Amino acid sequence: MSERRCPKCGTVYTATARFCPRDGSMLVEVQGKPLATPAASAGTAVPTPPTPAHGPDRAAGLSGQLLDARYQVLKKLGEGGMSYVYLAKEVATAQAVAIKVLSPKLATDKSSVERLRREAGLAMRLDHPNVCRILRLGQSEDGLIYLVMPFLQGELLSDREVQRGPMAIAAGIELLRQVCAGLHHAHELQIVHRDLKPENIMLVPVPEGGDRAVVMDFGLAKERRADPAIAKLTATGIILGTPEFMSPEQIRGKPLDGRSDIYALGIVAFEMFTGKLPFQGRNAQEMMIARLRGQPLKLRQFRTDVPEGLEKTLTRAMESNPDARFNTALEFAEALGASTEGGLLSKLKGKLT
């Protein structure tokens, strides 16, 4: 199993840790490379899965094989607890795609497949340049259930942070505004991401320079509208999401709306500009308690060149009470644009013309 090391004190932790509990520094990968793939998760209706014909390791060794007589699998990009992600080429079009294959152990579990089907039905409705969409949900003859997505040639925000450190203010705001645009599109469709974090944001280079931010992995997304079937699937007592970025209402298991994603993006932004989290604790549990009981640290405490307006904007995004946050991701994006002197100047010029 890969490990991560604190560049400041040298302490080594397991791969599940992201920050040093001693000094709050972001951990650096020691061995192995973090998953850097456009891994979205979900699909549409699938039949009841048969038992895979080639054993439990079938999904783990698809490199070099032809999947479903349709995709030439080139190499494995990464794997998680529920799936394996591959780079592949669609035989008919020669288009490069990313394929997420569900673990056979989960593919034989009806509840997992039902959850996948429902989540995919939501994710396939997304169509925005700042969201990684689902192209197809398929099932091979030997029972492998898989999702096909565009292959995004880029870099995860989490990798960019580790390699380059805190981001420049202007570049960071531009990327955050793009993420807001993608989230707003999803929220308009009544879809909440629920697991927004740097590992779920891909930075794709664009020809004119800079990067396009793409929100990935709507695998924990769910509709805001109450759905008894979905509620039944998630009523296991397990909190879905990443502890460091979950909103207070998500920690409490309360109903979520788009403002929960805004809270998570506020934490992502704080980390993007400082390399640290706004809530401190010796472990994930203590950090969750801090979000329930305390206030976030001030951005300018770690970085003096940050405009005061940006600090106020992020503080509002991370308000414990959802009603005190921005109502929409679009409103958050507008506040980010106006949070620097240049943004305020542009706003004033717009009113004068």
What is the C-alpha to C-alpha distance for residues 76 and 216, in angstroms, rounded to an integer? 18
Backbone angles phi, psi at 118, to 5 degrees: -65, -45
Give 219: exposed, middle or buried? Use CB within 10 Å, 0-12, 13-18, 19+. buried
Q: Under a CB-based contact definition with an 8 Å cutoff, are residues 36 and 198 in contact?
A: no
pLDDT score of 3: 64
pLDDT score of 346: 46
- Residues 6 or more apart whose CB falls under 8 angstroms from that of 308 comprise 300
What is the C-alpha to C-alpha distance for residues 314 and 180, in angstroms, rounded to an integer? 13
Instruction: Look at residue 128 and give its three-state secondary structure.
Output: coil
pLDDT score of 244: 82
Q: Does the annotation count 195 as an active-site position? A: yes
Largest CA distance in the chain: 69
Strand partners, 100: 85, 147
Q: Under a CB-based contact definition with an 8 Å cutoff, are residues 104 and 56 in contact?
A: yes
User: pLDDT tens, position by position, for the chain (353 residues)?
Assistant: 456 666 556 667 665 666 665 555 666 665 333 333 333 333 333 434 433 344 456 788 899 999 999 999 999 988 876 778 999 999 999 999 999 888 777 767 777 777 777 777 778 889 999 999 888 888 888 888 888 999 999 999 999 999 999 999 999 999 999 999 999 999 999 899 988 999 999 999 999 889 999 998 875 454 444 334 333 333 333 344 567 888 999 988 899 999 999 999 999 999 999 999 898 777 777 878 888 887 888 999 999 999 999 999 999 999 999 999 999 999 999 999 999 855 444 443 444 34
CB atoms within 10 A of CB 107: 26
Q: Is the dihedral of CA 1, 120, 143, 98 positive or negative?
A: negative
What is the C-alpha to C-alpha distance for residues 79 and 98, in angstroms, rounded to an integer? 12
What is the C-alpha to C-alpha distance for residues 8 and 28, in angstroms, rounded to an integer? 10
- With respect to CATH, is domain 58-150 assigned 3.30.70.100? no
The one-character DSSP state at 252 is T
CB atoms within 10 A of CB 261: 29
Instruction: Look at residue 271 and give its three-state secondary structure.
Output: helix
pLDDT score of 27: 67
Backbone angles phi, psi at 34, to 5 degrees: -60, 150
According to CATH, the superfamily of the domain at 155-352 is: Transferase(Phosphotransferase) domain 1 (1.10.510.10)
Identity of the amino acid at 107: A
pLDDT score of 14: 64
Instruction: Look at residue 306 and give its three-state secondary structure.
Output: coil
What is the C-alpha to C-alpha distance for residues 89 and 96, in angstroms, rounded to an integer? 5
Q: Under a CB-based contact definition with an 8 Å cutoff, are residues 89 and 96 in contact?
A: yes
Question: Residue ranges of the domains in the chain?
Answer: 1-32, 58-150, 155-352
Q: C-alpha dihedral over 93, 97, 103, 109, to 10 degrees?
A: -70
What is the C-alpha to C-alpha distance for residues 275 and 43, in angstroms, rounded to an integer? 34
Token readout for 252 is 């409490």
CA atoms within 13 A on the CB side of 116: 29
Q: Pick the catalytic residue: 109, 127, 195, 323? A: 195
pLDDT score of 206: 93
Token readout for 31 is 């061995």
Identity of the amino acid at 117: R
pLDDT score of 162: 92
Token readout for 8 is 């400041």
Q: Under a CB-based contact definition with an 8 Å cutoff, are residues 186 and 231 in contact?
A: no
Q: What is the 3-class SS of 110-137, one letter each residue?
A: HHHHHHHHHHHHHHCCCCCCCECCCCEE
